[in-house]
Amino acid sequence: MPLPDLQRAALAHAYGTGLTPTAVVEAILAAIPAEDPTFLLVTAERARAAAAALDPADRERLPLWGVPFAVKDNIDVAGLVTTAACPGFARVAATSATVVERLEAAGALLIGKTNLDQFATGLVGTRSPYGVPVNPLAPDRVPGGSSSGSAVAVARGLVTFALGTDTAGSGRVPAGFTNIVGLKPTRGVIPTTGVVPACRSLDCVSVFAGSVADATAVLAVAAGPDGADAMARVDGKAVAVPVGVAPPALRVAVPAEADLAAAPAWRAGFEAAREALAADGAHFVDVGLQPFFDAAAMLYSGPWVAERTAAVGEVIAAGVPGLDPVVSTIIRGGERMSAVDAFAGQYRLAEVAAAARALWRQVDVLLVPTVPGHPTLADLAAEPIAANSALGRYTNFVNLLDMAALAVPAGFRDDLPVGVTLIGPALADPLLAAVGERLHRRLSPQIGATQAQLVSPASIGPTTSPDRIPVVVVGAHLSGLPLNPQLTSAGGRLLAVTHTAAIYRLYALAGFTPPRPGMVRVSEDGVALAVEVWDLPAEAFGRFVAGIPAPLGIGTVTLADGSTAPGFLCEPVALAGARDLSSFGGWRAAMAAGAVG
């Protein structure tokens, strides 16, 4: 069996028409060569057992049912070796990282652990004694790091998503080089319990995926404090929502010309993204980024390098087998830092953070090229430190300044992928997702190095024919929720995962088990809500509608693209005293945030 399209929506449709998780796992395992530096460990038997254990009855309940994923090998998985790409550090994990536990509990299937720059120190993806993951779009160029294997696994279509980590750009740079999405959430949103630290105060678990929608679906499962991570953000669950809605007049900061250092191909990708945003009505503000660059310099020449020494300095000093000499030199550099240096660095960083807060009062997002350029392996061999350092120009400052970021593809130039990154203040993740999803769809709908395109209504399933009637669902009938079997058992087919036009509001209705929402059309203050479009055989549609209880009913729903279809609406009389959930952008997001009783 050839590799199927592993986008979540495509998988959901395929599972509904007879594909099994076991068949998906076998197809993936068959596609991974025996000697593949992308993976440090392929968990074949574990994946087979997990796939066989999935209960089809849970397909509508578990949001990641049958979705294959990979984990960067500085993240623990119970019973498996964690190497952090250093043989002398290798140890068997007694327990899984919190993020892995959550993903597997949601039905995701672990395929393997991926290669990385040793101890997550590097942005090139080549600093590993286990070999260099081959960039499938440019074999003579670096794959990006430190989360090299995770990005390459997604780009090759071997997994739906993969976990990386991001301290200075490791969850974004590889995405830019492999034509995929790299979601770097707000710091502390995903617990780092069970993650080998690089700079513990800055580290983030990141998500690589083929689409923004898939990445945010993973975030919805993974986010939220676990009680064990002292760096976790107690308000982190608030960002774990599906793709949100961008404001009608987005305010976008862009680097001043003096700070826009990028190779022609990457400059062209940036300009294409800017033009796309302008076509949607965005307003632009030129900003000088030099203070941000000054702050970023402290990561590798200032006190924060000492935090890397605090994390794994004893291992480096012990001279364990397999140490990368460049990584060793970088980490031991922290030994010369003093407490005075640390405080001076904190004071300087506080000054820059104040400037950043002032920026966010003027704009919604910052748009930058993900990297200035894409070095070849030969470039890196000639200048191993300089070539690596240059890649962090637009990434290094983000975690230091407590920002969220999302890297998305921006097309191809000279047959190589280019990309842009959207940056926002802490907890701006839903806004970045909304803007990023639209940019990705318009600029580069191809996923990684595969032939798959971003899922659209035409590619998720068959289009509605005269003997079938579409229905827009917004609540308990969504895929994976309790009433979805009413659709599937009646021959329903998923047509689209999309949004309404921004003319509706959503409320929690009282008296329903399972809980259900009511969507109403409004004349002002409307929002776009996450919905799914299904269709039913004509003879089944009438029976389905007859079973809908008041105050719910079927009316005409306008979707984001201006098209209309029959769908669930609610009588306004039922909304007295009902909780307004509109700010969550959809029923699934409200459930993930604990807003549904």
Active site residue 72: yes
Radius of gyration from C-alpha coordinates of the chain: 24
**Hey, do 8-296+314-443 and 457-592 end up sharing a CATH topology, with the first three levels equal?**
no
CB contact at 8 A, 89 and 120: no
For 220-266, give the secondary structure using H, E and C.
HHHCCCCCCCCCCCCCHHHHCCCCCCCCCCCEEEEECHHHCCCCHHH
- Distances from the Cα of 447 to the Cα of 26, 71, 499, angstroms: 21, 19, 21
Joined together, the tokens standing for residue 83 give 């190497």
Angle, in degrees to the nearest 10, between helices 429-443 and 212-222: 160
Joined together, the tokens standing for residue 564 give 């209309």
pTM over 0.85, yes/no: no
Per-residue confidence (pLDDT) for residue 157, from 0 to 100: 98
- Distances from the Cα of 122 to the Cα of 82, 167, 168, 170, 524, angstroms: 18, 10, 9, 8, 49
96, 128, 146, 148: the catalytic one is 146
Question: Domains of the chain: which residue ranges?
Answer: 8-296+314-443, 457-592
Joined together, the tokens standing for residue 9 give 């929506």
Letter for the amino acid at 348?
R
Query: Please, what sign has the CA dihedral across residues 72, 455, 415, 432?
Result: negative
DSSP label at residue 156: T
For 442-494, give the secondary structure using H, E and C.
HHCCECCCCCCECCCHHHHCCCCCCCEEEEEECCCCCCCCCCCHHHHCCCCEE
Per-residue confidence (pLDDT) for residue 242, from 0 to 100: 43
Active site residue 184: no
**The domain 8-296+314-443 belongs to what CATH superfamily?**
Amidase signature (AS) domain (3.90.1300.10)
All residues at 6 or more sequence positions from 361 whose CB lies less than 8 Å from its CB, including other chains:
none
Please state whether beta strands 468-473 and 517-521 pair in parallel, antiparallel, or not at all (unpaired).
unpaired
Per-residue confidence (pLDDT) for residue 194, from 0 to 100: 98
Give the three-state DSSP class for 408.
strand
- Measured from the Cβ of residue 230, the count of other Cβ atoms closer than 10 Å reads 12
Tell me whether the omega of the peptide bond preceding residue 2 falls within 30 degrees of 0, making it cis.
no
Please state whether beta strands 68-72 and 109-114 pair in parallel, antiparallel, or not at all (unpaired).
parallel
Buried-state track 392-424, b at ≥16 Cβ within 10 A, e below 16: bbbbbbbbbbbbbbbbbbbbbbeebbbbbbbbb
CB contact at 8 A, 450 and 157: yes
Q: Which fold has domain 457-592?
A: Hypothetical upf0131 protein ytfp (3.10.490)
Determine whether 531 is exposed, middle or buried from the number of CB atoms within 10 Å of its CB (0-12, 13-18, 19+).
Answer: buried
Can you list the alpha helix ranges (DSSP code H) found in 117-211?
148-155, 173-178
Joined together, the tokens standing for residue 515 give 């809980």
CB contact at 8 A, 316 and 332: yes
Query: Please, what sign has the CA dihedral across residues 54, 60, 62, 64?
Result: positive
170, 206, 328, 444: the catalytic one is 170
CA torsion angle 488 492 496 498 (round to 10): -70
Can you list the alpha helix ranges (DSSP code H) found in 531-596?
538-546, 587-592
- Measured from the Cβ of residue 509, the count of other Cβ atoms closer than 10 Å reads 17
Active site residue 479: no
Note down pLDDT in tens along the chain; length 597 residues: 889 999 998 898 889 889 999 999 999 999 999 999 999 999 999 999 999 999 998 987 898 999 999 999 999 999 999 999 999 999 999 999 999 999 999 999 999 999 999 999 999 999 999 999 999 999 999 999 999 999 999 999 999 999 999 999 999 999 999 999 999 999 999 999 999 999 999 999 999 999 998 998 899 899 999 999 999 887 766 554 444 456 667 899 999 999 999 999 999 999 999 999 999 889 999 999 999 998 898 887 777 888 888 888 888 889 899 999 989 888 888 888 888 888 888 888 899 889 888 999 999 999 999 999 999 999 999 999 899 999 999 999 999 999 999 999 999 999 999 999 999 999 888 889 889 988 998 999 899 999 898 875 433 344 455 678 999 999 999 887 899 889 988 888 777 777 888 899 999 998 898 999 999 999 998 998 988 888 899 889 999 999 999 999 999 999 876 778 899 999 998 898 899 999 988 898 888 778 887
